[in-house]
């Protein structure tokens, strides 16, 4: 938890929602994916955010990038062995979210209802 602990930078990367989705998509696809394939698999991600996320994952050794010498160049992204391990985290988080989404939505509704209720005055 120390602010100067290097593990904090790793946790910050893994805590990014697009990182979890990219790792999950690459794991689910079970093979290399092209940039546009990833973009289609992740509705809502912008081209800029996907590029930044892939660069971060490549920098950290979680994703490999292979460029084929064609015109236009063909680029594929895949999980490294380290990335395969990290992708298990995204799977676990996704499974947990699916199994508890009902409870969380109910808690949100309860919280919102309590926030809109006017407190009773004290006598």
Q: Taking the domains of the chain in order of start, what are their residue ranges?
A: 7-116
Per-residue pLDDT at 1 exceeds 80:
no
Three-state DSSP at 90 gives helix
Greatest alpha-carbon span in the chain: 80
Query: pLDDT averaged over the chain?
Result: 92
Residue linked to tokens 């995204």: 90
pTM of the model: 0.82
pLDDT tens column, 35-60: 999 999 999 999 999 999 999 999 99
pLDDT value at residue 11: 87
pLDDT value at residue 44: 96
Higher-pLDDT residue of 65, 2:
65
Per-residue pLDDT at 118 exceeds 80:
no
CATH architecture of 7-116: Orthogonal Bundle (1.10)
């Amino acid at each position: 938890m120390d602010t100067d602990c290097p593990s904090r930078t790793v946790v910050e990367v893994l805590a990014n929602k697009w990182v979890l989705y990219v790792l999950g998509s690459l794991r689910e696809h079970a093979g290399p994916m092209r940039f546009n394939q990833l973009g289609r698999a992740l509705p809502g991600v912008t081209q800029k955010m996907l590029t930044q996320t892939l660069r971060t994952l490549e920098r950290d050794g979680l994703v490999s990038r292979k460029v084929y010498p064609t015109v236009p160049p063909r680029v594929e992204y895949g999980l490294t062995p380290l990335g395969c391990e990290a992708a298990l985290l995204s799977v676990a988080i996704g499974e947990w979210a699916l199994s508890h989404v009902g409870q969380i939505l109910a808690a949100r509704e309860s919280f919102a209802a309590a926030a809109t209720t006017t407190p009773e005055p004290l006598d």
